[in-house]
Each structure stands twice: as structure tokens, then as C-alpha cells.
Chain A
Amino acid sequence: MIFGIPIQAFAGQLLVGLINGSFYAMLSLGLAIIFGLLRVINFAHGAQYMLGAFIAYLILAFGGIGYWPALIVAPVLVGLFGIVVERLALSRLYDVDPLYGLLFTFGLALVIEGVFRYYYGVSGNPYPVPPALTGAVNLGFMFLPIYRGWVVIASLIVCIAAWLLIEKTKFGSYLRAATENPKLVQAFGVNVPLLLTLTYGLGAALAGLAGVLAAPVYQVSPLMGSNLIIVVFAVVVIGGMGSILGAIVTGYMLGVAEGLTKVFYPEASNIVVFVIMAIVLLMRPAGLFGRDA
């Protein structure tokens, strides 16, 4: 027994928290990358996540293209959409107050969600779990759906890959350098505007990928992004704005914290993240992993 809860139930809740943490980690990773380089607070992230899920649903319903190809197709399409958005609009806002970028992406999210709500309603559409991942295994302490296990593994792979890309590759080193001092990097002959465009595309693609992974678990609904985005922002703030490692670690941590709250005091489960945020900001204004500016 831990805190009056049987150890099995406790272990089950920990695992469930980890699964939700996977989504938080993946989404906040994209946000952190975008903020780190572009200094844009990407409020369209939830809408891009929703787009990923919807593309998976639409290509299945109308093209018969299943889950596995969708894991590639949807992020690519969402990434391209992100690139277009960055070229056409966001790139014009870098010189002005960051608030404009926030307002623009927020407006964009409302427009995208509104369009999908108009055509698809709010109650959502079903998306089946791919046949290879249906069923569940009995772990003794809980019944683990195989698909959920896959989500944890997939998100770990994505997070590690993104971290390696940024820390260990040449592209990553340019990216980090441009975050530190864009003018100097440009003086060295690196095409910084292109780097910014690709980074935004990458961040959007990550959101799209998370959307595809979420499609079989949640209803594919126009509201699915806005339900999640606020929590994800809290994750980024707690982890330290722009800190990639911070976003990943905090994502998993908060998933677990939220999961445990659902056992001890369920009514508070949707505010616990914000309570933690308030405490962290009081103690460490730059976030857990952030560097003081």
C-alpha cells in the first residue's frame, strides 16, 4: 500500500501518467524548438496537432491510406503547411514585438479550428487502432493496451531523435548557434531565414505526428487541440522557455503528476499543472531547466 492505495493501482496510475506525459513531451518539444529559435509563441500548435489527426482520418476515409503511411504523410503535410505559414506571414513579424507572433498564431488556430468545426462538427470522428497494435496485455497490476505502450515508445524515439538532431548534427549546431546570435551566424554565411523556416516546419511536423499518434486514442475532433494546448504551454513554461531537454523531461513529469492527482483528488486534475507552474515560477522564474536571460 502506498498512501492508502494498493501498489498495483499505484503502478497502473504511474504508467497511465507516463503515457499522457508522452503526448505532453512531444508537443512541448515542438513548441520549445520553435520558441528557442524563432522567439515565436506558437499558439497554432494545438491546431497543427489537430490537423495531423484530421489528415490521418481523411486519408483513411477517402484514400484508404492506413495508419503506418499516415505517420509519415501527415507530419510532412503539416510541416509543409507550417513552412507556408512561416514564409507568408510569420517571417514578416520577427522584427516587431513578439506579441504579434502570438496574436497571429492564436488567430490562425481559431480560423483552422473554426473551418474544421464548420465541416465536421464537434463530436468528432472515429479512427481505428491499427490491427497490428490492437489488444492489450495484462501486466499483472494493470491492463495495458498495446497501442498505448507503442505511444510511449514512439514518443521516446521521437524525443531522443530530436535531441540528437539538435545536439549532435551540423544542422543542430547551426540551429543552436542561430538561437544564441542570429546576426553573427548569418555573417558566417549560414542562411538563417531558411533555417528559421525549416525549424518552424519541423516544429509543426512534430505537432502533426503527435496528432496521428493521438488519433486512435482520442476522438478526432476540431476541439482536441485547444483542449490540450494550454497544458502544453504550462509544460514549456515549467521546463524553461526554449529548453528542449526541459520540455521533454517536464512533459513526462507532469503527465505523472497529473495521473497521480486523478487518484488522490480527481477534481483538481486539470489545475494541478498550473499549481505546479505557479510554484516553479515563484522559485525559479526561468523554469526548471531554463537559463536566466
Chain B
Amino acid sequence: MKLSRALAALLMATVAFPAVAQEISDGKVKIGILNDQSGVYADFGGKWSVEAAKMAAEDFGGKVKDMPIEIVSADHQNKADIASNIARQWYDTEQVDAIMELTTSSVALAVQGISQEKKKIDIVTGAATTDLTGKACSPYGFHWAYDTHALAVGTGGALVQQGGDTWFFLTADYAFGYSLEEQTSKYVISKGGKVLGSVRHPLATTDFSSFLLQAQSSGAKVVGLANAGLDTANAIKQAAEFGIVAGGQRMAALLFTLAEVHGLGLEAAQGLTLTEGFYWDRDDDSRAWAKKFFDRTGRMPNMIQAGTYSAVLQYLKAIDKAGTDETEAVAKNLHEMPVEDVFARGGKVGPNGRMIHDMYLMEVKKPSESTQPWDYYKVLATIPGDEAYIKPAEAGCPLVK
């Protein structure tokens, strides 16, 4: 009796696990896009990122090594606990191979931790904190589109160079805001500038007039907005109202993308300096791709959405090259392969997981300069990737010696 059972089990095992363990697990490649689809960052990435991921899967041919590619998505509502539950469920019971996008720094840090523990790949495009490739780096974690350091170097550096050497910060009162303020302050001071003060406002503040009056009376040449999304848009709109720009102070939106410029309108956004990793009107390739994106979504992509496309595509290329979706092999390829697609040209991945690529310093056009819908930016400068990002060896990542 016992023997026959053991024999049966043995037979079952050989049937169930033939010698294909080195190829694609469970018959398909499943990628989860986890981000904010209903809250303050729903335009920043949102369901548009999911669409970009689907485009990448289709452009790759819908199959990798003859196995179908499936994109699933979920809304984490900017809460790290909800995101963690979804990530565990995806990895444990739904055979998701990798999680990407991960807008909101707290969420990205939590999911990267889980991914490392489960030995799965995560590629962050939506979150900003440099900790993802610093003290919280993972051998299977990647940071793709931008980070707080790149924003500080881009927007901060440009304004200091133009004579904006005294700063006052309006900072969102949570981890991301602190990180952005700290990185930018550091950079401004290293270039000989001074920080005159800062004020911390709660997330989702509607009225900034009090804070703006404080910024105004500080006399700083630049008012740095270390916040994001709707907060930044409201602050800029109200700054115009209180005559801050007219009075000779400059507004620096440290994290502001095409989606928010569109929401704010050129009338209020004109003249802003900002940093992005992608602009749809950069060259013929980007225009052609963005047109396809526009046809599906009715809007032009920002760096989060284009970055998600790039991340999914590169992940599929890495599986194709490895011939398996086994994490170690794919991660090794992701670290080694150059990134060459519509988002990044000449991109490379550091040993800490940071994808290093050129960033662009932009100025928002005046309404009179804009010749077609979504024609919003003048490219002021290209910031080489090696300047924009912290060198992997200096990032504080324990994996890099």
C-alpha cells in the first residue's frame, strides 16, 4: 500500500516536472503593473501606464519564446499595505513573474522588499526616491525612469546656473518631499547657492496662499516646489495669482510632467523649468510611438508611461536572450544589456539597478509658441545620464563594493 503510493507519487512527479525547468515557468510570462489608478497620481502614471505596458507586449509580438505574455494591473491607492498584499498574492498564487511601475516611493520600497524576499524582479518607473538603488537596493530590483537626484541636478542645477542662488522650499510633508528637498538643497549649496527656508505642507493641500506669502516674504530668488501632482499644480496656479513670478521670483516645479502641464494649461504653466526623461516631440521615433499611444489613450505619454513601455520591453528582451524567465538569469541580462528603445538611447544599468540614461531640461512654452495640441516643451538642454544619476559606487547600495 505504502509502496504503491510512493510509486504513484514518483510517477506523478516525473509527469508533472519534465526536463523543461530551464524554460518559461507555468507556460506564460505574466507582468503586473501596480500603481495609483484613482488617486492624486492617476494621471501621472495610472491606467495609461498599463496601456503602455500592453503596447510593449504587443510590439514584442505578444509572445516570448513561444509563450504568451500577459499584463495584469491593480490599483494600490498609494498605500504600502494594500500594495504589499497585492504583491504577495500576485507572486504566491497568481504566477506573476515581475511587478513594474510602482508609483509612490513608500509603495515602491515595500514591494521591492517583497520582490527580493520572493526572488522576483521589480522595475520601478513611477516612484522617485534614490533609496531604491541606494540603501534599499535589491539584486532583482531596477529603477528605470527618473529619481530625486536627477530632478535636483536637472531643475536645481539649471536654475542656479541662471543666477537663482537663493531658494525657499514648499515641501510635501512625507518621505518623498523630504528626499526631494534634501537632494535639491544639497545640490544648490554645492553650487554656491543658499537655502533661505522651507515650509512643510500636508499632502493634498488645496490652498497654498499662506505658504506662498511666506515664500514671497523670504525674498528667495527661487521657490522650489518639492511636491507632486495636484499639489504642485495648485501651488503654481496660486503663485501666479499672488504675483510671485511677476515680482521676479521663479517657481521651480521639481517633479512635474507632461500630464500635469496639460492639466494646468499653458497660461498658468508657461515659463516653468522642469526635468523629464522623455518628451514625445524629441525625434521621429518618439513621435511615431507617441502617436500610437495617443490613438489608444487620447493623450501624449510622459516619462512614467514611456518608461513603463521601455521597462516591459527590456524585460521581455532579457527573457528572450536568457531563454528562460528564471529570475537570476533574467536579472543578469537586465544588468548587462544596453537599453536602446524609444524611451532611452544608450541607456545602461548600474550594478545597483539604476538605469542610467539622458534626462532633458525643459521649459514650458508660452501659449503663443505652442503650435499644436500637446506641444508644450522647449528642450533647453540634455543632461547626460552620468551627471544626472548618482554613480552606482556612491549610491550607498550594499550590493556594490
Report how far A9 CA is from B209 CA in the complex, Å: 12
Given contacts A136-B243, A219-B263, A262-B210, contact A123 B43 (CB under 8 A): yes
Asked if A125 is at the interface of the complex by the 8 Å CB criterion, the answer is yes
For the complex formed, measure the closest distance between the CB of B396 and the CB atoms of chain A, giving whole angstroms: 28
Q: A219-B230, A263-B214, A267-B173 are in contact. List 6 more A-B contacts (CB 8 A).
A: A122-B42, A126-B268, A128-B267, A143-B242, A262-B210, A270-B202
A221 at interface, CB cutoff 8 A = yes
A–B pairs, 10, beta carbons within 8 Å: A19-B209, A123-B229, A124-B233, A143-B216, A143-B242, A217-B207, A218-B234, A219-B233, A227-B206, A266-B201
Tell which of B41, B173, B234 touches A219, judged by Cβ atoms closer than 8 Å. B234
Asked if A148 CB lies within 8 Å of chain B CBs, one says yes
B68-80 vs A, CB cutoff 8 Å, 1 = contact: the mask equals: 0000000000000
Which residue from chain A places its CB closest to the CB of B247 in the assembled complex? A143
Report if B14 contacts A (CB, 8 A): no
Q: Is the CB of A124 within 8 A of B207?
A: no
Q: How many A-B residue pairs have CB under 8 A?
A: 114
Is there a chain A Cβ closer than 8 Å to B93's Cβ? no
A266, B212: Cα distance in complex, Å? 12
B40 touching A223, Cβ below 8 Å: yes
Question: Considering only CB atoms, which chain B residue lies closest to A117 in the complex?
Answer: B38
Within 8 A of B (CB), among A208-228: 217-219, 221, 223-224, 227-228
Shortest C-beta distance, B58 to chain A (Å), equals 24
A227 contacts which chain B residues (CB < 8 A)?
Answer: 204, 206
Residue in B39, B210, B265 whose CB lies within 8 Å of A122: B39
B213 beta carbon closer than 8 Å to chain A: yes
Q: Give every chain A residue within 8 A of B229 (Cβ-Cβ).
A: 122-123
The 9 closest A-B pairs by CB, nearest first: A123-B263, A126-B265, A262-B210, A270-B202, A123-B43, A121-B43, A145-B241, A16-B209, A122-B42
- Give the distance to chain A from B304, nearest Cβ to Cβ, in Å: 13
Interface mask (B189-201 → A, CB under 8 Å = 1, otherwise 0):
0000000000111
Q: Is the CB of B199 within 8 A of A123?
A: no
Q: Which residues of A contact B233 (CB under 8 A)?
A: 123-124, 219
Closest Cβ of chain B to A224, distance in Å, is 7
| B199 and A145 contact, CB distance less than 8 A | no
Known: A126-B268, A145-B242, A267-B200. Is A13-B213 also a contact (CB below 8 A)? Answer: yes
Return A43 CB to nearest CB of chain B, in Å: 18
Interface contact B238-A217, CB-CB below 8 Å: yes
A259 to chain B: which residues have CB within 8 Å? Answer: 210
Q: Interface range on chain A: under 10, 10 to 19, 20 to 34, or 35 or more?
A: 35 or more
Residues of B close to A267: CB separation below 8 A = 173, 200, 202
Q: Contacts A16-B213, A142-B213, A223-B40; is A126 near B202 (CB within 8 Å)?
A: no
Measured in the bound complex, the distance between the Cα atoms of B38 and A13 in whole Å is 34
Given contact pairs A16-B209, A143-B247, A223-B230, A217 touches B265 in the complex (Cβ within 8 A): no
A267 and B263 CA atoms in complex are apart in Å by 27
User: Does any Cβ of A come within 8 Å of B262's Cβ?
Assistant: yes
Interface size of B in residues (CB-CB distance below 8 Å): 42
Chain A residues, Cβ within 8 Å of B42: 117, 121-122
Report whether A217 and B241 are in contact in the complex, using a CB–CB cutoff of 8 Å. Answer: yes
The verdict on A219 contacting B210 (CB below 8 Å), with A117-B42, A122-B40, A143-B216 known, is: no
A43, B217: Cα distance in complex, Å: 39
Interface residues of B in 167-192 (CB under 8 A from A): 173
Question: Using Cβ atoms and an 8 Å threshold, which residues of chain A touch B234?
Answer: 218-219
Asked whether any CB of chain A lies closer than 8 Å to the CB of B264, the reply is: yes
Please judge, given known A-B contacts A143-B242, A227-B204, whether A262 and B268 are in contact too, CB under 8 Å. Answer: no
Assembly CA distance A136 to B240 (angstroms): 10
How many angstroms between the C-alpha atoms of A145 and B207 in the bound complex?
14
Instruction: Flag if B230 contacts A147 (CB, 8 Å).
Output: no
Q: Which residue of A9, A17, A126, A128 is within 8 Å of B217 (Cβ)?
A: A9
Give chain A nearest CB distance to B228 CB in angstroms: 10
Q: Quote the shortest CB–CB distance from B185 to chain A (angstroms).
A: 18
A219 pairs with B259, CB closer than 8 A: no
Residue A269 is within 8 A (CB to CB) of chain B in the complex? yes
A280 shortest CB reach to chain B, Å: 22
Q: Does B260 contact A (CB under 8 A)?
A: yes
Residues on the B chain within 8 Å of A172, using CB: none
Distance between Cα atoms of A224 and B207 in the complex (Å): 11
Asked whether, in the complex, the Cβ of A16 is within 8 Å of the Cβ of B210, the reply is yes
Contacts of B91 in A (CB 8 A): none
The smallest C-beta distance from B212 to any residue of chain A, in angstroms, reads: 9
CA distance A81 to B124 in the complex (A): 44
Asked, given contacts A122-B230, A129-B241, A142-B213, whether A219 binds B264 with beta carbons under 8 Å apart, the answer is: yes
B374 within 8 A of A: no
In chain B, what residue has the closest Cβ to A114? Answer: B38
- Bound Cα distance from A147 to B111, whole angstroms: 46
**A125/B211 contact (C-beta < 8 A), A136-B241, A224-B206, A267-B202 known:** no
Instruction: Tell me, in angstroms, the Cα distance from A19 to B39 when the chains sit together.
Output: 27
CB distance from A73 to the nearest CB of B (A): 22
Q: What are the residues of chain A within 8 A of B209 when measuring CB–CB?
A: 16, 19-20, 148
Contact indicator A126/B243 (Cβ below 8 Å): no
Question: In this assembly, does A182 line the interface, its C-beta being within 8 Å of a C-beta of chain B?
Answer: no
- A8 to B216 Cα, complex, angstroms: 12
Smallest distance from the beta carbon of A9 to chain B beta carbons, Å?
A: 6
Residues 84 to 129 of chain A near chain B (Cβ within 8 Å): 114, 117, 121-126, 128-129
* A122 CB contacts on chain B under 8 angstroms: 38-43, 229-230
* Cβ A262 vs Cβ B211 within 8 A: yes
A7 to B267, CA, bound (A): 34
